Structure formats: C-alpha cells, structure tokens
C-alpha cells in the first residue's frame, strides 16, 4: 500500500478556500486555465506531513503505530491557510500561517519515522507547510518540460498558474485547531480527473501527554 500522513482542514476551512478559488478562476486573465489545470477535489485537500510511498503490510502496521505514538506526544496547534505559490512552474499551492514551527516539528517527527521504518529518505521539503490545489495536466506538463513544439501553449499553462498564485497571494483563511493527524492510503490515477484517490486508514488525536511521575516509571 502507498501511505502518507497529513492534516486535513475542516469542511468550513475548505469551503472558505473554495469560494476564493472560484473568484480567481473566473478572472478575465486566466483564459483556458480550467482545461490546463487539474484541480484537487475540496474533500481531498490536505497538508502533507510525511509521504511514505509503497510499503509492505508489515511496514505499514509499524508506520501506523509510530504515527499513533507521535500524535500521543504532540500538542494540538492552531493554523490557518495563507498566501499562495508555485512549485516547478506547475503546482499551485496555498501556504500556512499560525503555529507553523510546531507543525514543521510534527512533520519532521513523522518524516524521521518513515526513514527509520522503510530506510528511505523523504527528500521533499516539509519545512513549509502547504496545501496543493491544482496541477498542470499531463499534456501541458510535457509542454512545460520542453517536449512540445508549441511554446505559446507552454507559456500559457505556466502563466495560468503564476496568475492564480499572484491573485491568491493575499488570501487568508479562518484559523482552526489541529487536533488530529490522518494516515491515508493513495491510489494513483483512480481519483477525480485522473488524479489520486485517497482512503483514510487511521486517525489519531494530538494529546501531548505529560511525562509520568517518577514513581510511575518504576
């Protein structure tokens, strides 16, 4: 199975973002952006803490148990969606504000867990929490990689993403209290529009349990 661990914003936060996206997607300067981009379904939007990839059933059980332990030793925190940017000219993301240092520390612990269990390093930068909202489609991604003879189409796709990011740079969503983390499985290509489908495997509450008194450790 293909696993990752994430924070899922509540429905009210996702709805607030969706209203902002509807406004910018309807802008006059975006041309054919609805076709050149694949938009993540609102219910699938999340802040990835660590990506574990394909793992065996045994390793999956160990990872799930490890995430449960990390959650039990981590305090709830408050964050909000804020700003926007672009990765690699093709991925539109929304950033985070609030207790971002605590969120980054939680992410680092989950990443370390994956490396310990699987022996593989997650090379993605997790210090900047973000939520992916759209990607350039496969056809236009090839154009961006230089495999197209139509530079006008290539520029159009990149410009659409950049224009959206600029329009969303001032976005700020409502604050919410992160009280749990979710382990998801991913099925590439089986979701809406050819994207991945996500299944919730387990949810663990953040508890920040205090250390037991000395007498309880004996």
H-run or E-run covering 35: helix 33-36
| CA 103/CA 6 separation, integer angstroms | 11
What are the residue numbers of the active site? Answer: 46, 130
Q: Rounded to whole angstroms, how far apart are CA atoms 56 and 61?
A: 9
Residue 180 phi/psi, 5-degree rounding, is -155, 165
Query: Do residues 177 and 77 lie in contact, with contact meaning Cβ atoms separated by under 8 Å?
Result: yes
Angle between helices 57-72 and 100-118 (to 10 degrees): 150
What DSSP string describes 59-96?
HHHHHHHHHHHHHHTS--EEEEEEEEEEETTTEEEEEE
Q: State the sign of the Cα–Cα–Cα–Cα dihedral 23, 42, 83, 175.
A: positive
What's phi and psi for 81, nearest 5 deg?
-75, 140
Burial 25-50 (b: 16+ CB within 10 A, else e): beeeebeebeebbbbbeeebbbbbbb
């Amino acid at each position: 199975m293909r696993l990752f661990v994430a924070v899922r914003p509540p429905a009210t936060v996702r709805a607030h973002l969706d209203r902002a996206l509807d406004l910018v997607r309807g802008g006059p300067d975006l041309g054919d952006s609805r076709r050149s981009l694949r938009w993540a379904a609102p219910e699938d939007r999340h802040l990835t803490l660590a990506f574990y990839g394909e793992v065996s059933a045994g390793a999956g059980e160990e990872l799930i148990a490890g995430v449960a332990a990390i959650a039990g030793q981590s305090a709830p925190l408050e964050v909000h969606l804020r700003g926007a940017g672009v990765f690699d000219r093709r991925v539109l993301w929304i950033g985070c504000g609030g207790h971002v240092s605590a969120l980054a520390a939680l992410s680092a612990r989950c990443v370390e867990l994956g490396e310990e269990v699987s022996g593989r390093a997650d090379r993605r930068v997790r210090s900047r929490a973000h939520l992916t909202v759209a990607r350039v489609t496969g056809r236009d991604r090839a154009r961006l990689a230089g495999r197209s003879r139509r530079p006008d189409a290539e520029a159009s796709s990149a410009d659409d993403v950049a224009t959206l990011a600029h329009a969303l740079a001032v976005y700020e969503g409502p604050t919410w209290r992160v009280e749990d983390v979710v382990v998801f499985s991913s099925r590439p290509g089986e979701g809406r529009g050819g994207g991945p489908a996500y299944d919730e495997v387990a949810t663990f509450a953040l508890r920040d349990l205090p250390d037991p008194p000395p007498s309880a450790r004996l």
